[in-house]
Amino acid sequence: MSIPEAVLKKSYDFVIIGSGAGAGPVIYELAKDGKQILVLEKGPFFRTSDFRKDELTATRRSVYTPPLYKEFHVIVRKDEQGHTREESTFDTGWDFWNGNMVGGSSNIMSGYFHRMKPVDFKLLSHYGEIPGANLADWPIGYEDLEPYYTKVEQVIGVSGKTVKHRFAESRSVPDFPYPPLRENVVASWIDRAGKATGMEIIPTPRAILSVNKGKRKACYYSHYCGSYGCASDAKGSARVALIYPALETGNLTLITNAFVFHLETDGHYQIKKAHFFDAQGRKYAVSARYFVVAAQAVETVRLLLNSRNPEFPNGLANNHGQVGKNILFSAGGTGEGEIDLTVLDEKTRKAVEKPGVFINRSTQFFYEIDLNGKKIKGGTVDFLFEHANPVPKALRLMYRNEKIHIGKAYKQVIKNYFRNVRKLQFEIFTDWIPHDGAFVDLSEKKDYRGIRVARIHIDPHPAQRKPGEIIAREMEKLFRNMGLKNIRSHITDLPPANLQAGGARFGSSPETSVLNRYCQAHEVPNLFITDGSFMPTGGSVPYTWTIYANAFRVADFLKKF
């Protein structure tokens, strides 16, 4: 079915590209304010009833993301010999898509929500220059974002409990609006080991409801959370928390399966039309007074660079060559240890094996590290069980203990592991250091529509590995104190594809940034970018809460237009 002419010709105040964490707050606030909004979402509109716990859906099928044979990225990196390699993600299977649907990847996030801390906004002035890095202080401070962190807690719904610790940030309200989620007994083991080793352990805030909130039901502890949509709407996705209420205002028009490929300007440095394909490949264009882009960092950069216009021969808002520069991911790595269930008494074993309930423990004890008398930025550690999905779990066992298992031996390994072991993991989040070797530009290769794809250069800065290595050693000590077996860690220079930011950083000067402090393009007054692209540095926490909070902040500014 073609898009009605009335929808295309309607006079809109805002066209918003994307509907995830960066777009959702803007959609929600402007719709409530009476603005006429058109949202162009690349993916489909999955309802809550569509999110079943099919164990293959999120791991072996392209349900929430496009198939790589049709839509891919190109990755550029140096190999161990220092040679530059350029590979299509279709060839490698390394997927940089993160949830193409209404609500974006917020539908399938794990919801580990930590605020950035005051020091994260001033890394350059606080810690000084790092040779070869492009550090920059933010044009705003923690105090500017704090009210919006609080708003996210209330509107999106964050469950947890605040405790005092040495790197705790200030809060305008004493505690989270929703009590902590139910916990596995292993959480108390982590608390005890932390106390024994002098390490502060804190409860992990989660964007998951522990009690009902309006039409949304509390978590029902399905055992399948991260990578899966939520069947009770407990998870704080932009879809349920923001898009649904915005639709109820009558001020939001939503077009799904709409891939925006070009933003056309009017000859006077303003956007006049957004051009897009529908699911059948038909082309359309829509107009508005203002345009908001929130397609996630890599795809936002791709859209700007593909939007060459007479005023912008190198891509929209790119006359100073800053679009795509200083892309951010998250540095750090992971680790694990195994709980041997066979040595536990029956009561304890049942408590450890209890499905669904969370660990919900973190430490920020190493948010700052003393390295040879010099203070350097550290990071956050989240503790969690290995994901319950048996498919990737079994696949990982093929290479257990550096051996390849097949046939009967493989079956025995699976049987023993699934029956007698529970794996505890830790995830380390440290700063990805922005520098000239990490950026996004366009490949000469094109997707199935004939649009040039993003080429992602992912060389790491050499200084960013050290904090993760230091923290990993401390986490291994903690796991040994807990009596876990087969403890190991892996600090990597490869970026996690689901944590993207930067590429259109905000700042005070168009010479060094794409956006001003309100995420308005320096060179295009009616363009705003509200996904993680705005971030000059990423902090040592997952990005989603900060993206939500900043989008609420920008929405307050946009209400004036």
Distance of alpha carbon 24 from alpha carbon 246, whole angstroms: 9
Q: Which of 21, 27, 157 is nearest to 101 (CA)?
A: 21
Contact (Cβ atoms closer than 8 angstroms) between residue 146 and residue 168: no
Predicted pLDDT at 326: 98
Contact (Cβ atoms closer than 8 angstroms) between residue 470 and residue 371: yes
CATH of the domain at 422: 3.50.50.60
Q: Which of 351, 263, 341, 275 is nearest to 307 (CA)?
A: 263
Predicted pLDDT at 256: 98
Task: Read off the DSSP letter of residue 388.
Answer: -
Beta bridge partners of 284: 276
> pTM score, two decimals?
0.97
Distance of alpha carbon 374 from alpha carbon 467, whole angstroms: 13
Distance of alpha carbon 23 from alpha carbon 182, whole angstroms: 31
Each residue's pLDDT expressed in tens, for the chain with a length of 561 residues: 789 999 999 999 999 999 999 999 999 999 999 999 999 999 999 999 998 888 887 766 778 899 999 999 999 998 878 889 999 999 999 999 999 999 999 999 999 999 999 999 999 999 999 999 999 999 999 999 999 999 999 999 999 999 999 999 999 999 999 999 999 999 999 999 999 999 999 999 999 999 999 999 999 999 999 889 999 999 999 999 999 999 999 999 999 999 999 999 999 999 999 999 999 999 999 999 999 999 999 999 999 999 999 999 999 999 999 999 999 999 999 999 999 999 999 999 999 999 999 999 999 999 999 998 999 999 999 999 999 988 888 888 877 666 777 788 888 888 989 999 999 999 999 999 999 999 999 999 999 999 999 999 999 999 999 999 999 999 999 999 999 999 999 999 999 999 999 999 999 999 999 999 999 999 999 999 999 999 999 999 999 999 999 999 999 999 999
- For 60, half-sphere exposure in the C-beta direction (CA atoms, 13 angstrom radius) is 10
Q: Which of 153, 456, 147 is nearest to 328 (CA)?
A: 456
Beta bridge partners of 331: 430
Predicted pLDDT at 392: 83
Structure tokens belonging to residue 97: 């898509």
Query: Amino acid letter at 407?
Result: G
Task: Read off the DSSP letter of residue 270.
Answer: -
Q: Which of 16, 86, 18, 48 is nearest to 445 (CA)?
A: 86
Distance of alpha carbon 476 from alpha carbon 194, whole angstroms: 12
What is the phi-psi region of residue 235: left when phi exceeds 0, alpha when psi lies from -120 to 50, beta otherwise?
Answer: beta
Predicted pLDDT at 166: 93
- How many domains, the chain? 1
Structure tokens belonging to residue 150: 């609080």
Predicted pLDDT at 409: 82
Distance of alpha carbon 186 from alpha carbon 172, whole angstroms: 32
Contact (Cβ atoms closer than 8 angstroms) between residue 235 and residue 109: yes
Predicted pLDDT at 60: 64
Predicted pLDDT at 404: 74
Domain containing 288 equals 5-558
